[in-house]
Amino acid sequence: MATITASGIGSGLDINNIVSQLVAAERGPTETRLNSKESLIQARLSAFGSLKSALTNFQSSLSTLANPDSFTKRSASIQDPTVFSAATTDVAASGSYSVEVEQLAASQKIASQAYTDSDTSVGSGDLSFTVNGESFSVTIADGADSLADIRDAVNSAADNTGVSASIINDQDGAHLVFSATKTGVENAVNIAVTNGASGDLSQLAYDNSLETQLSSMVEKTAALDSIVIVDGFTQTSANTKIEGMIDGVTLDLKKALPGESFSLSIQVDSRSVKSAIEGFVTNYNTLMTTINDLTAYDPETKTAGLLQGDSATRSVANQLRQEMGTIVSGLGTELDSLAELGITTGDKNKLVLDSEQFAEVMSSDFDKLSGIFSSESGYAVRLDSLIGNLTASGGILSNRTDGLSSQVERINEQREALEKRIVGIEARYQAQFSALDSLLGQLNSTGDFLTQQLANLPGTVFRNGK
C-alpha cells in the first residue's frame, strides 16, 4: 500500500491524515465483519475439537469392556508378597493354596588359590569349560597367562556358554573366580585343563562330580535349584520362576523361608471389571456434559452454546442415545440391557448407576456381563464402532470441521480482495487530493499576482489594506 509522507504544499491541507481517515473508513466495516465472522468460526472449530476429544476419551474407556478376555482374567491374592508373587492366566482355577518357599535358586561360584596379584603368571595350556552339557575352550599362551589374562580370555570368548570370570582381592592375595551366569544345579561349571598345561594352570581344574577336588579350586557358592512346596507337593526350578505347578499360575519366588507356609488365593478378577463398568458410566456422563454445555441455551442471559442448533452435534447425541437404549441381541438371557445392570438414563441424558442392583448382578451373574459388553452386539463393541465412524476422516465431525475451515479460507480470500481494493481507493484519494492541492496552489498564486498588479495602478488607493 502506498504511503503518503507530506502534507499539501500548495494548499496547506494535511493530505496524509485526510487520506488515512478516509481509507480507514472504507476498510473498517468490512474488516470488522470479517474478523467477527472468523472469530465465531474459530470458536466453533474449537468446540468441535472439544466434542471430538470427549468422544475419543469415552472410546478409550471402552477397550477393557470390549475385550472378552477382560471377563475371564484371574487375580491372585498373596498373604505375604515379599515371599513370592503370582501371575495368572484365564485357565487358572479359582481356589486357595498353601505355598512354602524352601530354597531359592543360586548360581555357582568357584575360586582359585591366592596369588600375589592379578599380574601373577599362572601357566599356559587350554581351559575347557562345560555348563549344562555345552562346552567352550580358551587357549592360555606363555607370556599371556596372568590372572588378568585368563579372566579376559574367558569373558571375551565368542562361544562362551555361561561363565563369567573376575578377580577378587582378599587379605591373602588375588583370587580368580569363575561364576555361572545362570542359576540352578544344571548350570554348574566344570573346568578341565588340557594340552600340556604348564605352571599352576592345572590348579584351575574343577569337577562337580568329585567330593574332593584334585586342584586347589574351592566352591564359594553352590549351584542351587529353587524348591517350592504347594499343598504338600514339591517342585524344583533352575531359576526363581515356577511354571505349571498350578495350571495357569506362574510363581516368582523372592525369599526362602523353610518351614513357613503362606496362602495363595486365585479368583476371578471381578474388581477390574467392576471398575471398568463404573468408569464406563463416569466417562459417558463426562461426554454428555460436554455435549450439553456446547448445545445449551440460557434464557436469562439469552446466550447459546457454540454448537446450539448444530445438526451434526444433534446427530451425534441422538446416535449415542439410540445405542444406549438398544438391548443386546442373541444372548438368550434376561440380562441383556444396561437397565438390567442397574444403569438407567437420568437428567440431561446422563447415566445413573444403582449400586445395590449392580452389586447383586456382579455377585450372581458375573459370567453374563461379557455378553452385554463384549459380544458382537454388546454395548462396548457397538459404541466403539459408532464413535470410530463419527470421529474418522470423512465422518460427520470431519465433514463439519472441513466446511468451517473452508469458510476461514474464504474469509482470508476476502481479506486479500479487501486489501487490493483499499490500495486502489488510497491511490484514488491520493490523486484527487494532490490535484486539489495543485489547484488551490494555482489559485493562491493567481490571487497574489492580481493583488500586486492592482496595487501598481496609478491613482489606486487601498484602504484598510484593500
Q: Domain for residue 4, yes or no?
A: yes
pLDDT tens digits for range 242-276: 999 999 999 999 999 999 999 999 998 889 999 99
Q: What is the DSSP string of 145-161?
A: -BHHHHHHHHHH-TT--
**Shared-domain flag, residues 186 and 120:** yes
Q: Pick from 243, 268, 293: which residue ends a domain?
A: 268
Q: Domain for residue 452, yes or no?
A: no
- For the record, the C-alpha cell of 363 comes out as 455377585
Q: Domain for residue 148, yes or no?
A: yes
Predicted confidence (pLDDT) at residue 212 exceeds the cutoff of 70: yes
**Shared-domain flag, residues 283 and 328:** yes
**Shared-domain flag, residues 349 and 305:** yes
Predicted confidence (pLDDT) at residue 463 exceeds the cutoff of 60: no
Answering whether pTM is above 0.85, one says no
Distance CA 371, CA 367 (A): 8
**Shared-domain flag, residues 246 and 350:** no
Q: Where are the beta strands (DSSP E) in 61-148?
A: 74-78, 84-88, 95-103, 109-111, 125-131, 134-140
Across 296-325, average pLDDT = 90
**Shared-domain flag, residues 14 and 78:** no
- Of the candidates 134, 138, 131, 133, the one whose C-alpha atom is nearest the C-alpha of residue 190 is 131
pLDDT of residue 1: 44
Predicted confidence (pLDDT) at residue 449 exceeds the cutoff of 70: no
236 forms beta bridges with 227
Range of the domain at 234: 74-105+226-268
Domain count within the chain: 3
pLDDT tens digits for range 386-401: 999 999 998 899 998 8
Q: Domain for residue 296, yes or no?
A: yes
Predicted confidence (pLDDT) at residue 6 exceeds the cutoff of 60: no
**pLDDT bracket for residue 3 (50, 70, 90):** very low
Q: Domain for residue 461, yes or no?
A: no
**Shared-domain flag, residues 64 and 132:** no
Q: Domain for residue 250, yes or no?
A: yes
Taking residue 88's Cβ as centre, other Cβ atoms within 10 Å add up to 18
**Shared-domain flag, residues 201 and 237:** no
Q: Domain for residue 150, yes or no?
A: yes
Predicted confidence (pLDDT) at residue 352 exceeds the cutoff of 70: yes
**Shared-domain flag, residues 289 and 140:** no
Distance CA 111, CA 172 (A): 13
**Shared-domain flag, residues 293 and 312:** yes
Q: Domain for residue 1, yes or no?
A: yes
**Shared-domain flag, residues 295 and 195:** no
- For the record, the C-alpha cell of 419 comes out as 486489501
**Shared-domain flag, residues 176 and 213:** yes
pLDDT of residue 454: 72
**Shared-domain flag, residues 290 and 356:** yes
Distance CA 464, CA 144 (A): 129
